[in-house]
A and B are shown apart, each in its own frame.
Chain A
Amino acid sequence: MQQPYQSYSASDFVCDDHFLAHQLSPTDESEQFWHDWRIQNPSREQHYHQAQQLLEAVRLGLSDYARNYLSEEAEARLFDRIHSSKSQIKSGQPGFKITRNPWFLRGIAACLIFVLALGAWQLKDKWMQPSLYKQQVTNLPVPAIEKINDKSAPELTTLPDGSTVELFPGSRLSYPTDFGKTNRTVYLLGKARFDVRKNPQKPFYVYSNELVTKVLGTVFSVEAFEKDNALKIVVEHGQVSVYQQKNPDTKSARTILQGVLLKPNQQVVFSRESKQFSKTVVAEPALVDDRIVDKNSFVFEETPVIAVFELLKKAYGLDIIYNEEILKGCQLTASLADEPVLKKLDIITQSIGSSYEMVEGQVIIVSNGCKSP
């Protein structure tokens, strides 16, 4: 241990083998050595002490790396997989007794070639044509952080900008380590519900298979599993635009093809086969304007039906289309409260002798008008 320790700085100590070994796993011998050395060199004490704290800080900063373990089940699963591939290979390997029959040998050779070719083909399939998600994430210029939910319940993640993501089972989400620096972009495979912090300067983008969803600040969910033919986006609050990517390899805005604008309680389903969007109202539209949750809001007494529709439009963020001229004479007396909005629409339209249709995420009131009372 003849080192010029007398001239060592804190960083020199941290990089020294003996110093590190002593800090991480001291022995009686190293204890003695460093004890004596510190007594003999009191002038270096400050550097030695700083080195200890520096090392501790570095190891603290690496503790997430150090604790990044597989669960025991996942470890066991991987070992089972290794074990089963091992036993398959074993029977295909030369090393067991070979019979003299040349045809038998040729058979083995043919089988081996077939197995190898199959293996190579599968590998090719796996690595040459990775999913869009994998492609996008691996092509990022900076490393990405990936969250995987392999549990049976949804998991909540908070992104660096304070937005939250509820990641559903079997789904994965990636975002670059510089998330939020220039823009906010995440990549999704599977299903997630986003609650995005409002920031008009930095739009929030979700890339999911062929689709890009762009929002400023809102609550919505995206469902895009690898195996599914349909991709679905549902909006709870705010506005969302959904685009199809022309070339999924690039994320430049120029490649954007066609898209739809979604308002609250609307959803869009994109068919990967036909490349068509279909926009609809969600099955159970929820209230979007909390100021209208007052119980008496939906109690009507000889209220013009136009006012009723306007109230529903505001409360549920729905697009309700009607002909003002025709409905002018219609009035409604009804007490509505907890029923879902579509049920409310049923009651209202029936009581004025009309009906409604849902087209492209809009509610269209079909009516011949009311007789004047």
Chain B
Amino acid sequence: MSINTSKSDLWKAFQRGDEEAYSELYRTHIKHMYRYGMSLVPVSEAFVLDCIHDVFMEIWMKRDRITEPDNIKFYLLKALKVRILHLFARTERPYESFHDSSFNELWEEPSTEEIFSQQEETVNRKEFVENLISKLPPRQQEAIRLRFIEELDYDQIGVLLSINHQSAKNLIFRAIENMRGWLLSAFVIFSSFF
């Protein structure tokens, strides 16, 4: 409770134009914004940094008009994604994997043999699970990052992916089921997981 109160105090101080509160907001959230932004646009760090810059400019300029968000981290991640999509739309080179859901169907599921050969190649457990995650469709990857690292709830994940609560939950369930199946088949072969 006290954490929420202090977060709320911080936000109110920021809305009054307190520079210290503004830098505190930056310090607390820059790491989350950076890694989320980079996961959306891995090709250009400079682009991501520009977008983060714009988000912080925007909230400063509109600070007296923004209603206090329930979750500041979620608010900033969302603002960042909106900014990124906005700039992509302006360049008339839409980043297709963002929207195109049929893109997911192109993602073929790895066969047991592929997992087998991958297990041989990868030197450690971390690399092995990283490889499996990279086999998930991009939206499932984004969803599990938001869920298991950013610790957002299904409603918030739904907003970021433009889907409802239930679809967000289904998306993550499917990702987890995929991972479980692959890990189990690796286990059957190598007895090294579970």
Chain A interfacial positions (CB closer than 8 Å to B): 10-12, 14-15, 17, 20, 24, 50, 53-55, 57-66, 68-70, 75, 78-79, 81-82, 85-86, 89, 93, 127-128, 130, 134, 137-140, 143-146, 148, 174, 177
Once A63-B126, A79-B26 are accepted as A-B contacts, the answer to whether A11 and B93 lie under 8 Å apart by CB is no
Q: Are A61 and B132 in contact (CB under 8 A)?
A: yes
Query: Which of A65, A127, A134, A148 is most buried by chain B, counting CB atoms within 10 A of its CB?
Result: A65
Q: Would you list 22 pairs from A and B whose C-beta atoms are within 8 A, ordered by A residue?
A: A11-B173, A11-B177, A14-B176, A15-B173, A57-B125, A57-B129, A57-B193, A60-B126, A60-B129, A61-B129, A62-B144, A62-B145, A62-B149, A65-B39, A66-B149, A70-B30, A78-B52, A79-B23, A89-B61, A134-B43, A138-B93, A143-B138
B38: which A residues are within 8 A, CB to CB?
68
Query: Total contacts A to B, CB within 8 angstroms?
Result: 122
Residue of A nearest to B44 (CB): A134
Q: Are B23 and A127 in contact (CB under 8 A)?
A: no
Once A61-B129, A63-B126, A79-B23 are accepted as A-B contacts, the answer to whether A68 and B35 lie under 8 Å apart by CB is yes
Once A55-B148, A138-B93 are accepted as A-B contacts, the answer to whether A61 and B35 lie under 8 Å apart by CB is no
A138: which B residues are within 8 A, CB to CB?
43-44, 93, 95
Query: Which of B35, B43, B93, B153 is most buried by chain A, counting CB atoms within 10 A of its CB?
Result: B43
Give, as a whole number of angstroms, the nearest-CB distance from B47 to chain A: 8
Is B180 part of the contact surface with A, judged by Cβ < 8 Å? yes
CA distance A61 to B130 in the complex (A): 4
Partner pick for A86 among B60, B90, B130, B172, CB 8 A cutoff: B60
The 5 closest A-B pairs by CB, nearest first: A61-B129, A61-B133, A68-B35, A137-B43, A11-B176
Is B7 part of the contact surface with A, judged by Cβ < 8 Å? no
Query: Which of A61, A68, A85, A139 is most buried by chain B, counting CB atoms within 10 A of its CB?
Result: A61
CA distance A236 to B147 in the complex (A): 49
Is B104 part of the contact surface with A, judged by Cβ < 8 Å? no
Interface of A is mostly: helix
Q: Are A58 and B31 in contact (CB under 8 A)?
A: no
Give, as a whole number of angstroms, the nearest-CB distance from A135 to chain B: 8
Is B151 part of the contact surface with A, judged by Cβ < 8 Å? yes
A-contact bits for B97-109, CB 8 A (1 contact / 0 none): 1000000000000
Is B116 part of the contact surface with A, judged by Cβ < 8 Å? no
Residue of B nearest to A134 (CB): B44
Q: Are B44 and A70 in contact (CB under 8 A)?
A: no
CA distance A15 to B148 in the complex (A): 10
Partner pick for B183 among A24, A54, A86, CB 8 A cutoff: A54
Q: Are B145 and A65 in contact (CB under 8 A)?
A: yes
Q: Are B93 and A139 in contact (CB under 8 A)?
A: yes
The count of chain B contact residues (Cβ–Cβ below 8 Å) is 51
CA distance A213 to B27 in the complex (A): 43
Give, as a whole number of angstroms, the nearest-CB distance from B9 to chain A: 21
Residue of A nearest to B134 (CB): A177
A61: which B residues are within 8 A, CB to CB?
126, 129-130, 132-133, 179
Partner pick for A59 among B34, B61, B148, CB 8 A cutoff: B148
CA distance A17 to B27 in the complex (A): 28
Once A54-B176, A82-B26, A89-B57 are accepted as A-B contacts, the answer to whether A60 and B125 lie under 8 Å apart by CB is yes
Residue of A nearest to B34 (CB): A70
A148: which B residues are within 8 A, CB to CB?
45
Query: Which of B38, B44, B194 is most buried by chain A, counting CB atoms within 10 A of its CB?
Result: B44
Q: Are A64 and B130 in contact (CB under 8 A)?
A: yes
CA distance A59 to B45 in the complex (A): 24
Partner pick for B49 among A65, A78, A130, A144, CB 8 A cutoff: A78
Residue of A nearest to B154 (CB): A17
Q: Are A11 and B134 in contact (CB under 8 A)?
A: no
Q: Are A50 and B194 in contact (CB under 8 A)?
A: yes
Q: Are B179 and A54 in contact (CB under 8 A)?
A: yes
CA distance A20 to B153 in the complex (A): 11
B87: which A residues are within 8 A, CB to CB?
127
Is B16 part of the contact surface with A, judged by Cβ < 8 Å? no
Give, as a whole number of angstroms, the nearest-CB distance from A24 to chain B: 7
Q: Are B53 and A78 in contact (CB under 8 A)?
A: yes
Give, as a whole number of angstroms, the nearest-CB distance from A116 to chain B: 13
A89: which B residues are within 8 A, CB to CB?
57, 60-61
Once A10-B180, A11-B173, A70-B34 are accepted as A-B contacts, the answer to whether A59 and B149 lie under 8 Å apart by CB is yes
Q: Are A58 and B91 in contact (CB under 8 A)?
A: no
Q: Are A58 and B176 in contact (CB under 8 A)?
A: yes
Residue of B nearest to A62 (CB): B149
A-facing residues in B61-102 (Cβ within 8 Å)? 61, 87, 90-91, 93, 95, 97
Partner pick for B43 among A69, A70, A146, CB 8 A cutoff: A146
CA distance A145 to B173 in the complex (A): 27
B194: which A residues are within 8 A, CB to CB?
50, 53
Q: Are A75 and B148 in contact (CB under 8 A)?
A: no
B61: which A residues are within 8 A, CB to CB?
89, 93
Is B42 part of the contact surface with A, judged by Cβ < 8 Å? yes
